[in-house]
Amino acid sequence: MKICQVEKPLVATHRIAGLEHRHLQVVLDGSSQLVAVDAIGCTPGDWVICVGSSAAREAAGSKEYPSDLTIVGIIDYWEEGA
């Protein structure tokens, strides 16, 4: 699992069949920008818990889902750098 901060939504109108109707977010992992499937409905600025690999696919809804990073929780309290 990773702790990331949601930077902004990502809009992509042309997607493969498995990615339809899924919200995507740009998240910051340190200084790296990553794209994550938003399985819970977060907003920019939220600190979130992300899972990767097969856990990301299952959290997004299916083992066949084409995701390697999925947001699975919003952190209620987080002190960056603590």
DSSP lists the bridge partners of residue 71 as 38, 50
Asked whether the predicted pLDDT for residue 6 surpasses 90, the reply is yes
Distance CA 47, CA 75 (A): 5
Query: Among 15, 67, 76, 74, which residue's Cα sits nearest to residue 36?
Result: 67
pLDDT at position 52: 79
pLDDT at position 57: 63
| 11 touches 26 (CB < 8 A) | no
Asked whether the predicted pLDDT for residue 78 surpasses 80, the reply is no
Distances, alpha carbon 82 to alpha carbons 44, 66, 77, 78, 79, in Å = 21, 34, 11, 8, 5
Q: What is the pLDDT of residues 41-55, one digit of tens each?
A: 999 999 999 987 666
Please tell me the CATH code under which domain 2-12+19-74 is placed.
Answer: 2.40.50.220
pLDDT at position 26: 96
pTM of the model: 0.80
Q: What is the pLDDT of residues 9-26, one digit of tens each?
A: 998 887 767 666 778 999
